[in-house]
Amino acid sequence: MSDALNSPENDTEEMQQQVCVCYDVMRWEIVESIRQGADTVEKVSDTTYACQGCGGCRPKIESLIEQSSRD
């Protein structure tokens, strides 16, 4: 997992930020899904319901997945 997802600042308010407005999914939920092996938006969506509404959160989820692959 990349330093970007494991850094100390991720224990702060940033992890409580809402990423998916439609399903009220927080950043920490998406990061946890990625840590557990979700490596596509579809897999994150399967475990968190993020991106099953308007799709506006897709770029943020893609960014978090990309960050996780930069080890």
- Of residues 71 and 60, the one with the higher pLDDT is 60
Pairing of strands 18-20, 25-26: antiparallel
Copy the structure tokens of residue 24: 């009220």
Count of CA atoms in the C-beta half-sphere (13 A) of 59 = 1
pLDDT tens digits for 1-53? 444 555 545 568 899 999 999 999 999 999 999 999 999 999 999 999 999 99
Ordered by where they begin, the domains of the chain are: 3-68 (1.10.10.1100)
Q: What is the predicted pLDDT for the residue at 71?
A: 55
Dist. CA 71–CA 13, nearest whole Å: 24
Dist. CA 16–CA 37, nearest whole Å: 21
pTM of the model: 0.81
